[in-house]
Amino acid sequence: MAIEVRIPTILRSYTGGAKVVEGSGDSINDLLSDLDGKYSGLRGRLVTDQGALHRFVNVYVNDEDVRFLGALDAKLNDGDTVTILPAVAGGAFGFAAAAAIFGHSASAAVVSGPGTSVPAASAAR
Amino acid sequence: MTRYESLLDACGGTPLVGLPRLSPTVPDGAPPVRLWAKLEDRNPTGSIKDRPAVFMIREAERAGRLRPGDTILEPTSGNTGISLAMVAKLRGYRLVCVMPENVSTERVQLLRMYGAEIIFSPAAGGSNQAVATAKQIAAEHPDWVMLYQYGNPGNAQAHYETTGPELLHDLPTITHFVAGLGTTGTLMGTGRYLREKVDEIEIVAAEPRYGELVYGLRNIDEGYVPELYDASVLTRRFSVGTRDAVLRTRQLVEVEGIFAGFSTGAILHAALAVAHEAVKAGRRADVAFVVADGGWKYLSTGAYGGTLADAEDALEGQLWA
C-alpha cells in the first residue's frame, strides 16, 4: 500500500531533506514503523515513550486529524495522503508572546480543561 | 429592526442564512441536506471576535480587574485587536497592541482608527523578536492588564451564552456545527452548549493549514496548544490548505453572494465535506457554519482575483485566518 506522507520542515533532517516520502501500512502505527525503518529516529519524534502521539504533533489522513479517527490505530488505504504538522495553529505569535509575558515558555503551556485557572489579567497586575 | 442602547449592546444576534445554491443536491425522496451561514461579519467591528472582546472586558470589570483608565495589553494583529480596540474606546480604557511590523496596512489603519496604540517589533526578528518585545513591555508595565484570549475562559463562555443559544433558536434541527479553530473559543463555547441540548450533534473544527514559513519552529517542543482547547468537545477536526480556503471563499461570493474572509472559506470547505458525506449516507443534515468576518481586510492580498495558484502564492507565509 503506497501512502504519500508530507513531512514538515523541522523533521526533514530525518528524510534527507525530502518534503514528501512514501510509506506503507494499514494504520498510522504501521506507517510510522515502516517509515522509521527508512528514516531512523522519525517515529521517536512523533510518538511518546507511552505510545501516544506527541502533544505538539498533529497528523492528518486526507486532511482529517487522526486523533478523531482512532489516533495511532486510524486506518489507512492505498492512495491516502498523510500530513504531519507541528501544533501551532493560527496566531502563533499571539500565544507565544502571551506565554512569554506570563513568564512560562510556549512549550511549557499545557492543554487544560474547563475551569482550570489560567494566567489571566490578575497575574499581570 | 431592533433598537439597542449602545453599539456594545448590538453585539451578536447575527442572521443565519440558508445557502440553497451551495447546499448539495440530494436524490429524489432522500432527506434534505442543507447548509446555513451564521453571518458574524454583522457584528459591530465586522467579526466574530466582538463577542469574546465584549464578554472578556465585562467580566474583567465585574471581577474588579479593570478600572476606568486602565491599560489593556494584548499581543494581536488580528480581529481580536480590532474588537478590543472598539470596546476599550467605548468603555474608557487604553489599548496597546504588540505586533510584528509586517502586518497588512488595513489592520494598522483600523486599529489606529479605533484609538489603539501599536508597538511594532522588527519583522526581521520574527516571532522570537515579538516575544522578546512583549516580555520587555510587560516587565516595564506590571500594572497593565492582559486578557489573554487563548486561556481566558470568558472567550469560550461568550459563545456558550450567545452563539450557541442563537443557533439552536434559529435552527432547532441543527445536526452539525462547523467553525474555525484558532484560540478554540468559538468551538469550545458553542460546542459545549449544543452538545448539552442536541443529541448526536457533530462539532466540526476547520483548522487553517498555512504556508511553511508560518511553521518556522526549530523543534516540535516549541509547539503550543491553547489552554482553552478540550478535544472532547469536538467530533472531527479538518486541516484546510490555502488553496481550498481560497477556492471556497470565492465560491461563496460567486454562488451565494457572501463576501467573506479566507478563514470562512476554510470553514465552508469542512462544512461541504460533512454535507456531502450526509448525502452519501442518505442522512438528513442541517449544517450551520460560521462566517467569521467579511473580505474587506484581505482585499490587498490580491487573492480574490487571478488564478488559484497566484492566490496561494500571495498568501504564502501569511496568517490568513
Which residues of B belong to the active site? 49
Contact between A120 and B147 using a beta-carbon 8 Å cutoff: yes
d(CA B257, CA A56): 38
Q: Is the same domain home to A62 and A108?
A: no
Indicate the range of A8-12, B63-67, B87-91 predicted with least confidence.
Answer: A8-12
Specify the CATH number for the domain of residue A73: 3.10.20.30
How much is the pLDDT for B131?
67
SS percent in chain A: helix, strand, coil, step 5: 35, 20, 45
Domain limits of chain B?
7-42+163-310, 50-140
The predicted structure's pLDDT at residue B209: 87
CA atoms within 13 A of residue B111's CA, in its CB half-sphere: 26
Interface probe with B: pick from A95, A104, A110, A112, most Cβ of B within 10 Å: A95
Are residues A11 and A55 located together in one domain of the fold? yes
Mean pLDDT in residue range B157-165? 98
What φ, ψ does residue B242 adopt, rounded to 5°?
-55, -45
Mean pLDDT (whole number) for B199-213: 88
Domain check: are A80 and A108 in the same one?
no
A44 and A27 in one domain?
yes
Contact B229 A98 (CB under 8 A): no
Distance CA B198, CA A62 (A): 29
Q: Residues B263, B183: contact at Cβ < 8 Å?
A: no
CB atoms B215 and A86 under 8 Å: yes
A48 and A16 housed in the same domain: yes
CATH C-level class of B7-42+163-310: alpha beta
Quick one: cell of B45? 467591528
Q: How many domains does chain A have?
A: 2
**Mean pLDDT computed over B245-259:** 97
Q: What is the mean pLDDT of residues A95-119?
A: 43
- The predicted pLDDT at position A122 comes to 33
Site of grid cell 434559529: B170
pLDDT of residue B128: 62
The predicted complex's ipTM stands at: 0.89
Whether the CB-CB separation of B121 and B130 falls below 8 Å is answered with yes
pLDDT of residue A49: 92
Encode B175-196: b = buried (16+ Cβ within 10 Å), e = exposed: bbbbbbbbbbbbbbbbbbbbbe
- Residue numbers of the domain that contains A119: 92-124
| H or E, element range at A86 | strand A81-86
Please check whether residues A10 and A60 belong to one and the same domain: yes
A116 CB neighbours in chain B (<8 A) are: 227
Same domain flag for A109 and A54: no
Measured distance CA(B312)–CA(B281) in Å, rounded: 33
Closest-CA residue of B relative to A110 is B227
Chain-chain contact of B235 with A68 (C-beta, under 8 angstroms): yes
More confident residue, B79 or B123: B79
Contact A27, A76 (CB under 8 A): yes
Cα distances (angstroms) measured from residue B183 to each of A124, B52, B224: 20, 11, 11
**Per-residue confidence (pLDDT) for residue A87, from 0 to 100:** 85
Average pLDDT, rounded, for chain B: 91
Those residues whose C-beta lies under 8 Å from the C-beta of residue B59, and which sit 6 or more positions away, are: B154, B157
Indicate the range of A82-96, B42-56, B133-147, B214-228 predicted with least confidence.
A82-96
- Whether B168 has a pLDDT exceeding 70, the answer reads yes
The confidence score (pLDDT) of residue B98 equals: 84
B30: exposed, middle or buried (C-beta count within 10 Å: 0-12, 13-18, 19+)?
middle
Which pLDDT value is given to residue A121? 33
Which chain A residue is nearest to residue B226, measuring alpha carbons? A111
Regarding whether A96 and A81 lie in a shared domain, the answer is no
Q: Is the pTM of this model over 0.80?
A: yes
Structure confidence by residue, pLDDT tens digits, A43-84: 999 999 999 999 989 999 999 999 999 999 999 999 999 999
Give the Å distances, CA to CA, from B117 to A32, A91, B144: 48, 19, 13
* Residue bearing cell 472582546: B53
pLDDT of A115 reads 34
Q: Name the least confident of B10-24, B27-41, B45-59, B134-148.
A: B134-148
Ranges A108-117, B22-31, B145-154, B273-282: which has the least confidence: A108-117
Same domain assignment for residues A78 and A116: no
A47 vs B contacts (CB less than 8 Å): none
The pLDDT of residue A108 is above 70: no
Residue the block writes with cell 467580566: B59
Most B CBs within 10 Å, among A88, A102, A117, to test the B interface: A88
**pLDDT score recorded for residue A14:** 95
Q: What is the pLDDT of residue B133?
A: 80
Tell me whether domains B7-42+163-310 and B50-140 share a fold.
yes
Residues B159 and B190: their CA atoms lie apart, in Å, by 5
- List the grid coordinates of B110: 483600523
pLDDT score, position B135: 77
- Determine whether the interchain pair A93/B220 forms a contact, defined as Cβ–Cβ distance below 8 Å: no
Alpha helix positions (H), B171-320: 185-197, 242-256, 262-281, 308-315
Q: Please check whether residues A78 and A108 belong to one and the same domain.
A: no
Is residue B20 over pLDDT 80? Answer: yes
CATH 3.40.50.1100 matches B50-140: yes
Q: Which percentage of chain A shows pLDDT scores above 70?
A: 70
In this predicted structure, what is the pLDDT of residue A113? 34
In 3D space, the residue among B17, B3, B54 whose CA is nearest the CA of residue B167 turns out to be: B17
